Amino acid sequence: MKNVVRHVGGHRWNGVPVLNYKEEGTHFKAISRQILFEGGPKLGAELRYFEIEPGGHSTLERHDHIHSVMVIRGRGHCLVGDTIYEITGNDLISVPTMTWHQFRATTPEPLGFLCLVNIERDRPERPDEANVATLQALPEVGEFIRL
Ligand code: MN
């Protein structure tokens, strides 16, 4: 059997291209995406590796599907719901359904994390003006979020 075990070194894997985080947009910064396991019907899930360079961030968004995240490189912070969390290696982060979330690489090292999602998932929703105002009124969240 081919490709049972794959690894190039560091956070790179054979047959796993380093992709743009999303097709387009200015609502994220300095983040790459690698699809480690594309799942398929027998698994039903997809495992991705995201890496954010220092100063970068993921999109501030929410959606019906959930994220199960594990940090495997560096440190940073994330918003989940109305709270900012400091995150570091081996931390597990659960992003519930329809919950605002954003990851930021807030230290001089990249922030890398695995993210498990259902294969069938809805499109993320970005905050409208009213959502932004609500988030900005929360302690710490206002200064944290990047739009
Ligand atoms: Mn998301």
Averaged over successive runs of 10 residues, the pLDDT of the chain (147 residues) comes to 92 95 85 95 97 97 98 98 98 98 97 98 97 96 96
Confirm whether 108 is domain-assigned. Answer: yes
Instruction: Give residue 55's pLDDT.
Output: 96
Confirm whether 34 is domain-assigned. Answer: yes
37 C-alpha to ligand 1 centroid (Å):
17
Confirm whether 3 is domain-assigned. Answer: no
15 C-alpha to ligand 1 centroid (Å):
24
Give the integer Cα–Cα distance in Å for 129 and 134. 9
Regarding pTM above 0.85, the answer is yes
Contacting residues for 99 by C-beta, under 8 A, at least 6 apart: 62, 80, 81
CATH code of the domain containing 86 = 2.60.120.10
Confirm whether 54 is domain-assigned. Answer: yes
Confirm whether 22 is domain-assigned. Answer: yes
Q: For residue 70, which amino acid is it?
A: M
Confirm whether 38 is domain-assigned. Answer: yes
Instruction: Give residue 3's pLDDT.
Output: 87
Confirm whether 7 is domain-assigned. Answer: no
65 C-alpha to ligand 1 centroid (Å):
8
Domain count, the chain: 1
40 C-alpha to ligand 1 centroid (Å):
20
11 C-alpha to ligand 1 centroid (Å):
21
Confirm whether 1 is domain-assigned. Answer: no
Q: Which of 52, 60, 84, 115 is catalytic?
A: 115
Instruction: Give residue 23's pLDDT.
Output: 77
Annotation says 78 is catalytic: no
Q: Which segments within 83-124 are labelled E, that is strand? A: 83-88, 92-95, 101-104, 111-118
Instruction: Give residue 30's pLDDT.
Output: 94
135 C-alpha to ligand 1 centroid (Å):
17
Q: pLDDT digits over 85-124, tens only? A: 999 999 999 999 999 999 999 999 999 999 999 999 999 9
Domain limits at 36? Answer: 14-112+127-144
